[in-house]
Amino acid sequence: MALKTAQEYIESLRTLKTRVYMFGEKIDNWVDHPMIRPSINCVAMTYALAQDPQYADLMTVKSSLTGNTINRFTHLHQSTEDLVNKVKMQRLLGQKTASCFQRCVGMDSFNAVFSTTFEIDEAHGTHYHENFKKFLTFVQDNDLTVDGAMTDPKGDRSKAPHDQKDPDMFVHVVERREDGIVVCGAKCHQTGSINSHWHIFMPTISMGEADKDWAVSFACPTDAEGMYMIYGRQSCDTRKMEEGASIDVGNAKFGGQEALVVLDHVFIPNEYIFLNGEYEFAGMMVERFAGYHRQSYGGCKVGVGDVVIGATALAAEYNGVEKASAVKDKLIEMLHLNETLYCCGIACSSQGFQTKAGNYQIDLLLANVCKQNVTRFPYEIVRLAEDVAGGLMVTMPSQKDFTSDTVVGRNGETIGDICNKFFAAKDGVSTEDRQRIMRFLENMCLGAAAVGYRTESMHGAGSPQAQRIMIARQGDIQGKKQLAKDIAGIQ
């Protein structure tokens, strides 16, 4: 099959029987739901750009499995150039959507599971690697969106999976049959899960022998029997359901998406199993996925940052302060922080290396440094954006007030007249344009988009402490001590 178009992707979602719940009710036509559709538009952009000759080198690539032209989001990295192009592609999509485009988790899981299953088979004589190659060929041939599901609810985080009061706090095998396994549990914070055709489930932590029933990885269709999703709330999300509020939404066309994915005795055939009790490899799969995903943030968050910086510069211009030295300095600092993140994404990519399985992995230390910076810099970028934009970003009347014909003034002025008079921008800039950029910044800094930019920068791909643990492990303090000893003449 050829690469899907954006419209073909959207229509393909309608053929699924995905079970989606929101506000305590089942959503039948979730594809056209006003709170969900912006996130679908974001994924659709990954298909649209792949059809554009201008972006073909970034968005498409030759498959290492079939030789066919495929979307890069379904690719196994074959070189450091591939790793660098991945980051460039993610920055481009962040620039085009100013939001989370949701296919990164699947791409990162493909590469982590591919290399890990090779080494599991090498140690245990299993057939997981062949299972995975067949599955990924199917994904590439049909240009599918796949969610990478890793984060378990975890319950009491001081306890291992087998010690939990409720075993469902981590996804686990409840029955092993000749033709497959039955699994229960849930994955939370799942980015783009509802918008995906399939899911790949992976462990979320390293495990011991007592946890072998929880050491499981597999693929299953998003509408599998026994699988359902509960949509996650976002700040200001119901604005998308209001009439006459397209400006108030901020980013009316694009948005992110998170959900709780529940597995209630879901059957997984043998051909879709990639880990089943080989607990000593759970940690490897987690670390490799986390490394790839921490690299991703050096691209996607930078692209969204580009848009935040542009919106901040526009707000300054509309306010008439674009020439003030303090404002110029703040914009320079925003640029500096954003490009530093990009440097980290490119650095960990350019220092990548080939795995035993043949695909390429990023430099884990630099990927964790990249994500550690992402937990900080976007917060400062947002702080500076709010500083430059001013308080109107969060105190402005609604869009309906600006168009209201309710008379309030002694000379017959309407509420709309009053709002447009007192919130006017500098000469040559319409009040509506100023209104739009202020609401856009509110959305990016505090609203629904902040979930995919600011807050996700903190917790996506692991919390800051997770990266610090990996930095300590990869940083080679003992080797650095020896360098000092050698130079200082210490035996």
Residue 390: count other Cβ atoms within 10 Å of its Cβ: 15
Active-site residue (options: 119, 287, 386, 456) = 456
State how far the Cα of 374 lies from the Cα of 460, in Å rounded to an integer.
10
- Tell me which of 258, 287, 386, 442 is the catalytic residue: 258
Tokens, residue 6:
């954006």
d(Cα 204, Cα 186) in Å, to the nearest integer? 11
User: DSSP letters of 141-202?
Assistant: HHT--EEEE-----SSTTS-GGG-SSGGGS-EEEEEETTEEEEEEEE-S-TTSTT-SEEEE-
What sign for the dihedral angle of Cα 411, 417, 418, 424?
Answer: negative
**DSSP 8-state code for residue 343:** H
- Tokens describing residue 197: 């055709």
Q: Single out the catalytic residue among 18, 97, 100, 318.
A: 100
Alpha carbon distance 247, 430 (integer Å): 14
Q: Given 300, 344, 370, 419, which residue is catalytic?
A: 300
The answer to whether the CB of 388 falls within 8 A of the CB of 445 is no
Q: Contact, 380 vs 373, CB < 8 A? A: no
Given the residues 279, 297, 342, 360, the one annotated as active site: 297
Catalytic: which of 293, 317, 318, 445?
Answer: 293
Half-sphere exposure of 211 (CA within 13 A, CB side): 24
Q: Which of 97, 191, 355, 375 is catalytic?
A: 191
State the pairing for strand pair 227-231/20-22.
parallel
Residue 432 designated active-site: no
Cβ pair 311, 441 in contact under 8 A: yes
Contact at 8 Å (CB) between 83 and 260? Answer: no
How buried is residue 406: exposed, middle or buried, by Cβ count under 10 Å (0-12/13-18/19+)? exposed
Instruction: Find, among 35, 38, 42, 41, the residue nearest to 20 by Cα.
Output: 35
Give the Cα separation of 220 and 100 in Å (integer). 23
Our answer to whether residue 339 is catalytic in this structure is: no
> Annotated catalytic residue: which of 18, 47, 60, 104?
104
Centroid of chain to Cα 91 = 12
Q: Is 312 a catalytic residue?
A: no
How many Å apart are CA 408 and CA 411, to the nearest integer? 9
The secondary structure of 296-307 as a DSSP string is HHHHHHHHHHHH
Catalytic residue at 456?
yes
What does the block give as tokens for 348? 């960990």
Q: What angle do CA 198, 274, 153 make, to 5 degrees?
A: 65
Our answer to whether residue 47 is catalytic in this structure is no
How many Å from the N-terminal Cα to the C-terminal Cα in the chain?
65
Annotated catalytic residue 343: no
Q: What is the DSSP letter of 279?
A: G
Active site residues per annotation: 100, 104, 191, 258, 293, 297, 300, 456
